[in-house]
Chains A and B, each alone.
Chain A
């Protein structure tokens, strides 16, 4: 099978993962100070949704659009939805662990495992949602490496976000989390081998999403993330200026 990457979309996929990570981690660092109960739950869910739905899910599908294959591809809507829920749930759990109590190495590893597995879970479920006249086989060694990259880079990003303060916390964590998401994804793609079958599963592509719908979804998510990131930044700047001594 002949396939190649559109480098503009590849770059865009990294940018969207960084934007999503920035939004998510900026929400996440307020989790430790949220009041227990509803406020904390909402903070965790908001951060998890931005990470799972924005940084990971949107990045994945931009990257899939960047992967130009010589065959028609559509995505099973239900499995695609499940893939986003996996990412949101895993990231929420991971961020919830990192944001509870005193942040220590003991919390970093389980939180990073949840986040990394969230990225990987979303990716491989998203791959399973692909409907095309081909079968996908994985090189297990590269697959394992992709998961390890996701976990380790997630740990590094969480460490920067929760342990550090200042510019490293704000931007370094988002850039590293972008590496976690993209590193896992593109390594995972390198693990995939395709074999033409000549038959399209679900003969008429019923209940599927094609590239245009994905593009629209991604556009909406990207704008929402951008607006949210700007809103957070502005709100914090205002709060900083008005905080009474």
Chain B
């Protein structure tokens, strides 16, 4: 049978290769593909062929892939080539933990990131790195209300992945605790004073979270750490949560990383 998938992602780089591997590992063959940029992200259309009994496995794998925000599938049900649409399936959002700042906002049904707006800001962030906070604050103020958290997390992921590739890619693949010490900690210290205690990173004077603001704007750092650590290939699902926020009276913003 032949199946068409339309996948929405927040990253272009490595998307086709990553999903191509998923298709092959599920016993399917990739026939055609097309990638395009949308306001809401990167859309990848795939036509694959394979055995019907493997379709569920393929959909499960796509749904749990870290680069997939959502996808739709249409599969051939009759030999004459008619395609029957399937309902859209939520993918990556469903596996984010409850309780985290970014995740709780997304789970609440808010819109995804303002990809176009963030994409426009990314070259400026790269140019000004590591002095990115003025631009981040300005960007934060311009984002549509319902998309602030997702957009800041998206920006963080992109910056984190970029920082990893630029500064930390060369070297051995590390386990989580070593990656936190050798990659995440120095990368964050390049931005703000930071300490590491076990699996928690304590960021001092986070300008995105002002005391008394009750804002919990840790999304950028959640995304930053996720992008950094996922790109480093620590393996498994990297989850970052802001467990203490100085906007709510804590001394520092503390981020917990779970693998």
Contact = CB atoms under 8 A, between A and B. Distances in A.
Interface of A: 26, 29-30, 32-33, 98-99, 101-104, 161-166, 169, 236, 240, 243-245
Nearest to B175: A102
Select the residue from B126, B165, B168 with max chain A CB neighbours within 10 A: B165
Contacts of A166: 186
B182 interface: yes
Nearest to B125: A245
B178 interface: yes
Given A102-B235, A245-B123, A165 B167 contact: yes
Interface in B201-239: 235
A103 B166 contact: no
Contact of B170 (A30, A101, A102): A30
- In this complex, the member of B125, B162, B168, B173 whose beta carbon has the largest number of chain A beta carbons within 10 angstroms is B173
Contacts of A26: 170
Contacts of B192: none
A245 B173 contact: no
B68 interface: no
Question: How big is the B interface, by class?
Answer: 20 to 34
Nearest to B12: A244
A244 B172 CA distance: 23
Interface string B148-160: 0000000000110
A245 B158 contact: yes
Given A165-B168, A165-B183, 6 more contacts: A26-B170, A32-B171, A102-B172, A102-B235, A166-B186, A245-B125
Contact of B182 (A29, A32, A102, A165): A165
B123 to A, nearest CB: 7
Given A243-B166, A245-B123, A245-B126, A164 B171 contact: yes
Contacts of B125: 245
Contacts of A103: 171-174, 178
Contacts of A161: 171-172
Closest 7 CB pairs of A and B: A103-B172, A162-B172, A245-B126, A245-B162, A29-B170, A245-B122, A102-B173
B172 A98 contact: yes
B158 A162 contact: no
A163 B123 contact: no
A104 B173 CA distance: 9
Given A165-B182, A240-B166, A32 B172 contact: yes
Nearest to A102: B173
Nearest to B234: A102
B172 A29 contact: yes
A29 B162 CA distance: 19
Contacts of B170: 26, 29-30, 33, 165, 169, 236
Contacts of A243: 162, 165-166
A208 to B, nearest CB: 42
Contacts of B139: none
A75 to B, nearest CB: 37
Contacts of B162: 243-245
Contacts of B172: 29, 32, 98-99, 102-103, 161-163
Interface in B29-78: none
B15 interface: no
B105 to A, nearest CB: 24
Nearest to A158: B172
Given A166-B186, A245-B122, A245-B159, A104 B166 contact: no
A236 B166 CA distance: 9
A218 B175 CA distance: 40
B92 interface: no
Contact of A32 (B165, B173, B175, B186): B173
B37 to A, nearest CB: 14
A102 B174 CA distance: 5
Contact of B171 (A104, A162, A240, A244): A162
A33 B233 CA distance: 10
Contacts of A33: 169-170
Interface in B101-134: 122-123, 125-126
B225 to A, nearest CB: 16
B182 A163 contact: yes
A165 B178 contact: no
A169 B175 CA distance: 17
A78 B12 CA distance: 54
